[in-house]
């Protein structure tokens, strides 16, 4: 049985002192024996960590005692080894780079659609008001090639900073439709939905992203696997490594 807990989480929240917080979080994560990456910015936190279950859960629970991170939700999965070589804690300008300063999810989230609601819409072929539902994959092209929702739009972007221009050029194709943006864990599609709304598109984000969908709905309406940015390379719909890439990393 896989024994290493893998946790991914993000939260858009105002952080006035990311540099100070970086020092504290690195000390606490290192003391817990964790490996992975924590990104901090004035707009929030984004983390991918792995380690023994109890210390990792303790680290997350301790983080939630800070009122800025009370709403932090994790997506958990398991592996035989730790899919990271080391621990990195970095301060960035954005926790997910879009280069659109006017898109500020820390000031208010885009409306979200739960996996249960999206499943109902996809099963019936329309939303609750009978409008056509369009899925927009906000990930990079090479990620999409591992797997995506059946029928999802893929604009073949190479990095997320290209998404706004791609969205603007396809705005007329989305008019009058209910658009649901999605990504691996939710962070990109949250910014994407806000940008689409600023362009006049009726857009929502898939709450929890693809990993949340797998947890709630399995492989329904999905083709392939989901690329992840660690040594596991990709997860299948059961949230288990789809390839044996992690075996050489050890624990």
**Catalytic site residue 189?**
no
Radius of gyration (Cα) for the chain, nearest Å? 18
44-51 and 35-41 strand pairing = antiparallel
DSSP state letters, the chain: ---EEEEEEEEE---S-HHHHHHHHHHHHHHTT-EEEEEEETTEEEEEEEE-HHHHHHHHHHHHTSGGGTT-EEEEEEESS-S-SSEEEEE-S-SS----TT--GGG-PPPEE-HHHHHHHHHHTS-TTSPPEEEEE-S-HHHHTTEEETT-EE---SSGGGHHHHHHHTHHHHTTSEEEEE-SSSHHHHHHHHHHHHTT--EEEETTHHHHHHHHHTTTTEEE-EE-SSTT-EE-TTSSBSSGGGGGT--
Q: Which residue has the tokens 């984004």?
A: 46
Active-site residue (options: 95, 122, 183, 237): 183
Which residues are tagged catalytic?
183
């Amino acid at each position: 049985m896989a024994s290493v807990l893998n946790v991914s989480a993000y939260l858009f929240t105002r952080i006035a002192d990311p540099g100070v917080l970086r020092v504290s979080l690195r000390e606490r994560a290192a003391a817990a024996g964790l490996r992975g990456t924590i990104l901090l910015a004035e707009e929030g936190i984004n983390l991918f960590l792995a380690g023994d279950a109890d210390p990792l859960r303790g680290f997350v629970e301790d983080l939630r005692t800070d009122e800025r991170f009370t709403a932090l939700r994790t997506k958990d999965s398991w592996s035989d080894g730790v899919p990271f070589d080391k621990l990195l804690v970095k301060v960035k300008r954005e926790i997910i780079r879009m280069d659109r300063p006017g898109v500020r999810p820390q000031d208010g989230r885009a409306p979200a659609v739960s996996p249960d609601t999206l499943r109902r819409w996809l099963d019936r072929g329309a939303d609750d008001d009978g409008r056509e539902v369009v899925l927009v994959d906000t990930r990079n092209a090479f990620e999409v090639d591992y797997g995506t929702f059946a029928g999802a739009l893929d604009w073949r972007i190479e990095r997320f900073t290209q998404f706004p221009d791609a969205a603007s050029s396809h705005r007329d194709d989305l008019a009058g439709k209910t658009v649901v943006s999605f990504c691996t864990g939710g962070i990109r599609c949250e910014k994407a939905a806000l940008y689409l709304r600023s362009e006049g598109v009726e857009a929502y984000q898939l709450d929890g992203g693809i990993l949340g969908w797998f947890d709630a709905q399995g492989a329904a309406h999905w083709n392939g696997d989901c690329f992840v940015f660690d040594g596991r390379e990709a997860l299948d719909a059961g949230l288990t490594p789809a390839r044996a890439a992690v075996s050489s990393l050890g624990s």
